[in-house]
Each structure stands twice: as structure tokens, then as C-alpha cells.
Amino acid sequence: MYLDSKTVNYQPNSSLMKNCILLLILISFGLHSHAQNRISGYIKDAKTGENLIGANIWQPATKKGTAANNYGFYSLNIPGDTATLEISYVGYATIKKFIELDGDTQLNFELKLSDALSEVVVKGTRPDLELTKMSSMKITSENIKAIPALLGEVDVLKTIQLMPGVQSGSEGSSGIYVRGGGPDQNLILLDGVPVYNASHLFGFFSVFNADAISNVEVIKGGFPARYGGRLSSVIDINMKDGNMKNWQAEGGVGLIASRLSVEGPIKKDKGSIILSGRRTYIDVLARPFIRMATEGADVGYYFYDFNGKANYIISDKDRIYLSAYTGADKFYARYEEEFDDGGSISEYRDEAGIKWGNFTTAARWNHLFSNRLFLNTTATYSKYNFELFNDSYYRYATATTEEEESFYAAYNSGIQDYGLKMDFDYFLNNDHSLKFGVNYIYHIFQPEAFNIEADFSDDFDIPKSKAVYGNEFSLYVEDEFEPFNNLKINAGIHTSAFAVKDELYPSFQPRVSARYLVNKNLSFKASYAEMAQFLHLLTNSGIGLPTDLWVPATDNIKPQFSQQTAIGMSSLLADGKYDFSIEGYYKNMNNLIEYKEGSNFLNVSESWEDKVAVGNGWSYGAEFLIRKKEGKFNGWLGYTLSYNNRQFEELNFGRVFPYKYDRRHDLSLVMNYKVGDDWEISGTWVYGTGNSITLPIAQYPTLNETPELRNEYGYGNTDIYQYSDRNAYRMPAYHRADIGVTWYKDKKWGSSSWTLSAYNLYNRRNPFYIETRTNSIGETSFNQISLFQFIPSITYNFKIRPHEK
């Protein structure tokens, strides 16, 4: 299927819209079950008191169950006065509970961590609820920490990149590309707040500290109606709530960074707090050597993260949360010089660099109206900004005269969001679980701001860039229901609108996914989702710098839209020890933007809207995953076969071309092995088809070049290059192996571990980018630039906790 590049306006199907509305009305007022009693409550970690998101509660006799919501709350109808329940969560020991009821009852359950060295197999008739999820996967902090990491810094986005359907951009990059989409098409949420730039160290690490993370859910398709605003994926990251029973601390010391997290009760079993921080010290360690090499200049780089979260249970029906994150990167070069010869004094200071960072915060209130209706209200704020700057000062003084001169130039870009949303969970009965809500976001865009302050500033004619303000509204309703045994459907509608300047862009997005359970070990799945995105990321054609600009849809640039269809199959193998899944997908994307040829972000003489071309894209492929989740040996093997194309009327003469990150084959192997109580070995191997690139294919001298500019061989320095079709060539394939060995030791005060790891074990020179070089006789060659070869690292980790008797 191909969409003409001129067809950029989304036209919803009116009959489909009516059918979806009718469907939701019918299921919302569907048949109620005949349950006499209802149990509801929270499922928690027995050791810390933290709520377990998505924990399962199951009644084998009726083959009915439910999952706890994002705050650990569940609600389930019980047909009769007695029942036997199974309560389970990945990594925790399953408990069976016989209950007697006399009317509606509130029951809280506490689960204990299972023995990681033994096989945990739940016997019974409960189907594995993983079989019900379409294009979705969950990752725990333990999964993240078990994987070998670059320079010992474990990373949630690096772990996600190892999953099928998710690709990395280039060597070391933490940017992710899901099912043919760009990095801006991923909705990355930290405790429900959008994070616009998730990268440190020019893309090599993410901003998320694994010590502060509770769990992560990644959704690639079949999007529930409650999510909106992006086309390709949702990465929902939840921070730990904090230990409600005891104070504890954990952290680590690595080659380039150290981290520390402290958590404990504000009031035991009523409230808790967690504080977590991380900072690199590359600049401090390298400063003496850099000053020697640069004759006194300081060149450095650092990043830091800080997370904080507090929560308090006001009553059985009310709980409040406050969370925040701040982090920043700074790369700088400073030079200072002062000279005094007795008759005159000269002083010179200069600093140039780039800095960027995020700040997010959320205030949340949970309220339980009844044992069926749960409300979460959240106020959010998110800010991202980057700045290129140069600041210099010069002073010269004698006994009779004094001269001063200063110069400051800065290029800024950023985005701010103020948001308010209300999300309701309504447990209608065991066959219908409704979610509905509203969301409002006030956007402030500052795509380009260039400022110069100098003694000679009148000599500059600097165009002034004004902020752009946008209002985004959304409303959704979704229902997860079982029309008959073994068929579960999640259907919903997400409606949204974006008001900017004098334009209003409405959008209607139907979503539906279905799972048919053939038996307890086999299911088939299918989904369809339409998505709208009112933001664009204008990506610079270069690499390595966070100079991408967040820009809004305007009267000239339309919003992005996508339609994705997916089908799949999941199966449990070997008595549930393994699970296997295969999915195929097809996705259309409209109103994508890219820089026109020769344009870039530093050309401030024209608006960004005049620098871009608008076009369409489409991608399709298949994903395979086989995984062993428990036992001494666990891990997974994932493979993706994909095709990813673009077409822009103003680029490549209107012809179709592959996306830069079109990667035909992508394979990842992850393995963890518990040698004993004290040792663990982990390893990964990844392979990916090389990225698409555009290369010059011919070189000609200019007609107006003067003879004195040409050398003795007849070549000049102003030759013209003729380039291939856009992205017509590919870099060499990317592959590497990583390995890590961890030694654990129990202490009186807690536990500690040492991790020895190696990144790129067999020293593969993977391509970062390809550059052209012309030698003294005019011969041009292509040269591959590589970043990371074999890198060993060592990390010390510790956990301080109360002594357990």
C-alpha cells in the first residue's frame, strides 16, 4: 500500500467512526455478571510495601481474573460466598488464598520475591497473561541491571534496543526507532510525564537511573486508547515509590560515574520517599592531563541526573504523590590568561560549549470512589532546552588607559509543557474493565532563538524568533472485555485536537486489539490503531549533537498521522519454561518532515518552516522472539525483518528512498546464567544491517575556477560533487558481543557486588559514519569512522538494608 505524498490531510472514515462509537456504547452497557460479591484492594511487595503494577489475580474455578492497575489497585467479582484465588507477579512467589465473603470486601495482598535460583512453575488452569498482550513487553529493573553495559552504566533504553522491532540509531546511541518510526515518534513517559530528550553523552547513555526505576512497559502497536500524541511507541517508565517499612540505600561506583539512591518511610506503612542521583566525573579526572596537553586550557564534559519521589496514604480512599526529575549535560572548553609586565595588565577569558537538559515534575492524587471506580488526577510540567554558547572577555589596562571588550553569543531551542489529566478505571464486571479520561497540555515552543550581546552588537542584524504556543486536548474511552470465553478484546477511541495560531486540527483515532486463546499455551492476536502527533522533531543531517528542534504543527506544516495493522501468535513451550511469539505489521505515516537539501539549524536568516520538506513513509516487517524468563539460565533471542521507505516531493526528485535507519535484518541474543549463590555471567550479541547513506559518485571542477587555484595535477579545492540517490548505499553491517561477570557478597549491613564487563569483546570496528577525504593529488576516498572498540570496565555496587533476623 502506498500513500501519495500530496495526500497529507487525514480524512477519518465516517462509517468506521459510527461503528466504533456504537461498539463502545454496547460494551459499556453490556450484560452485567451475576456476582453477589466483589473483592478489591491493592497488591504489594511484602518487603517494601510498594504497589506491584500489573500484578495478576485469578480465580481458577471461573477462569476469570484481572490485573492491578498502575497503582496496584484491583477489583474482581466473586460468584458466591467462597473462592480460591491465585495472586502472581513476575519474579515473585505465587500465593493461593481461600477466602470466605459476606458482601463486598477489601483485601490487600503482599507477595514475596521468589528464589531466583530455582525454577518457578505455576501449575493450574490459569493462562499466562503475557499471551493477552499485543505488541507489548514489560521490563523490570532486574532485567536492566543483568545486561552488560558500556563503561558499566546499565541503561533502560539499551535494554529496550535488544527487543525485536526496536532498533538503535548508530554506534552507542540511546535513540530508538520502533517499527520504522523516528525518535520523535516515541512517547517516553517518566511517572506519566513526557521526556523530550532521553540521552546523555551525545546519545550514548539514557537519562534514566536504573536504581530509581520500578518497571517499564514498551508498547509497539495495538495501542490502548489511553495513550496518544505519538505514532510509533509508548515507553511507560515508573519510578519506585520508596520503601514504606525500612530505610535502605543502594548505589555504585564505576569508571566514569557514581550513583546513590536512598529510600525509606516518611511514616511506616503510610508514606515513603526515594531520592536518587548520578554524576559523571570525567571532567574532574581528566582535567590535569587536559591542561598539560592544551597548555592551560580546560576541556571537559559531565552529566548528572537527580530523581525524587514522595507519596503518602491519606486514607483508605486517598493517596498523593509528588515526583520530579532533573538532569543535564555540559561540554565546554575554557581558557584564561593574565599577563602583568609591571606597566600594563592584560586579561583574557573565553568559554564555548553546548549544554542541554530536562526537568519534569508531577503531582498526583489517587481517589477511590468505590470498589469499582478509581480516579487518578495528575498535574505535570516538562521542560527541555539546549544551548550553544560562546562567552569571551578581554581587558587591557595601563597607568593611564583601560580598554574592555566582551562578546556573548548563544543559540537556544526548547519546549515546555504544562499538563493536567484525569484517568478513571471502572471495573464494570469481570467481563468489562473500562478506562476513560481527559488530558490537556499547554505547549510553549522555542524552535530557534539566537542572541548576541557585545560592545559592537549594533553591527549585527539578528532576526528575533518568537515563541509558538499550542493547546492540545484529548479525550478517550476504552474497554477490555470478553464477549465469550477465550476471546479478549480491547477497543477504544482516542479523540484529540491541537490549536496553534489560527489553526485547529481535530483527530479521531479508533483502536482495537484482540486475543483468541486456543488453549492455555497458544493464542492468536490482531490489532489496528490510528495515531496522531502534533509535534515534529526537525533532525539535523549531521550527527553527535543534540541539535534536533522540537517544532509544532502550524498552518503550513500539518500534524503527523499513522495507521498500523498487526497480527501475531504467542505460545508457551516446555511446560511454560519458554515463550515464543511472532508478529507481522504494516504502518503508513503521513506528513513527515525533513530538512531540504543544504538546509540546517544554524541558518537563522529564514524560518524553520521554509527549511523543511513534507512527505510520507511506510514500513512493514516481521518480529520473532523466544524467551526463557526464570531459572538459573534465562534470556532471549530476538529477530526483526523490516522494510522502511520515505517519499518527499522536494527530495530525491520525488522518488522513493529508504529511511536512514532502514535496517533489513536485526538480531539480538541475551543470556544470563547463575553459576551459584555468588556468581552470575551475562552476555549479549547483536547484529544489524548497515544504515543507509548518501555518497558522492562523481567529482567535477567548477567552470569559473581560476588557474592559480588548481594544483600541478589539475585538481582544485572548489570541485563539485555529484551525489547518488538519497540513501542509495549502506554502511557495513554492525555487530558486537558484550560480556559481564558479577560476584555477589552478603554483608552484615546488606550486600555488595563487583562487576567486570567488556564492551565489544572481539574488537569489531563498527561504523559511526562515513566521510570523504581528498588527498593532495585530488584523489577522493571514503573513510569509516569508528567510536568504540574493546572497552573493559569495572563497577562496584552496594545495597545497605536493615539486618534481617
Is 21 among the domain residues? no
pLDDT at residue 82 above 90?
no
Q: Please, what's the b/e burial string for 696-733 (b: 16 or more CB within 10 A of its CB; e: otherwise)?
A: eeeeeeeeeeeeeebeeeebeeebeeeeeebbeebbeb
Which bin fits 80, alpha (ψ -120 to 50), beta or left (φ > 0)?
A: left
Residues 87 and 63 in one domain: yes
pLDDT tens track for 527-575: 999 999 999 988 764 444 556 788 899 888 899 999 999 999 999 888 7
- Indicate the number of domains in the chain: 3
Q: What is the pLDDT of residue 318?
A: 94
Q: What is the mean pLDDT of residues 224-230?
A: 94
Sign of CA dihedral 10, 14, 18, 23: negative
Single out the residue in 704, 725, 746 at which a domain terminates: 725
Residues 199 and 114 in one domain: no
Residues 753 and 639 in one domain: yes
* C-alpha separations of 107 from 23, 85, 112 in Å: 33, 12, 17
Residues 143 and 249 in one domain: yes
Residues 580 and 491 in one domain: yes
In angstroms, rounded to a whole number, what is the distance separating the alpha carbons of residues 635 and 569?
20
End-to-end Cα, the chain, rounded Å = 65
Q: What is the CATH number of the domain that holds 405?
A: 2.40.170.20
Q: What is the CATH number of the domain that holds 42?
A: 2.60.40.1120
Single out the residue in 59, 93, 126 at which a domain terminates: 126
pLDDT tens track for 406-417: 888 888 888 999
For residue 613, which amino acid is it?
A: A
C-alpha cell at 480: 477490555
pLDDT tens track for 649-666: 988 889 999 998 888 999
Domain that includes residue 698, residue range: 693-725
Residues 617 and 631 in one domain: yes
Cβ(752)–Cβ(731) below 8 Å = no
Is 23 among the domain residues? no
pLDDT tens track for 149-170: 777 778 888 888 889 999 876 6
pLDDT tens track for 261-314: 999 999 998 999 999 999 888 776 556 555 555 556 677 788 899 999 999 999
Residues 517 and 472 in one domain: yes
Is 18 among the domain residues? no
* C-alpha separations of 184 from 216, 242, 537 in Å: 19, 31, 6
Residues 678 and 702 in one domain: no
In angstroms, rounded to a whole number, what is the distance separating the alpha carbons of residues 356 and 199?
10
Q: Cα-Cα-Cα-Cα dihedral of 481, 483, 484, 489, to 10°?
A: -50
- SS3 of residue 558 by DSSP: coil
Sign of CA dihedral 224, 88, 742, 327: positive
Residues 145 and 239 in one domain: yes
pLDDT tens track for 762-798: 999 988 777 777 776 667 778 888 877 888 889 999 9
- Greatest mean pLDDT among 325-334, 338-347, 445-454, 717-726 lies in 325-334
Is 20 among the domain residues? no
Residue 694: pLDDT band (50, 70, 90) is: confident
Residues 287 and 214 in one domain: yes
Residues 84 and 64 in one domain: yes
Cβ(507)–Cβ(497) below 8 Å = yes
Q: What is the pLDDT of residue 120?
A: 38
- Report the range of poorest mean pLDDT among 65-79, 239-253, 504-518, 587-601: 587-601
Residues 102 and 229 in one domain: no
Is 83 among the domain residues? yes
Is 26 among the domain residues? no
Cβ(215)–Cβ(191) below 8 Å = no
pLDDT at residue 10 above 60?
no
In angstroms, rounded to a whole number, what is the distance separating the alpha carbons of residues 655 and 415?
34
What letter would DSSP give residue 778? S
In angstroms, rounded to a whole number, what is the distance separating the alpha carbons of residues 251 and 310?
19
Is 748 among the domain residues? yes
Is 615 among the domain residues? yes
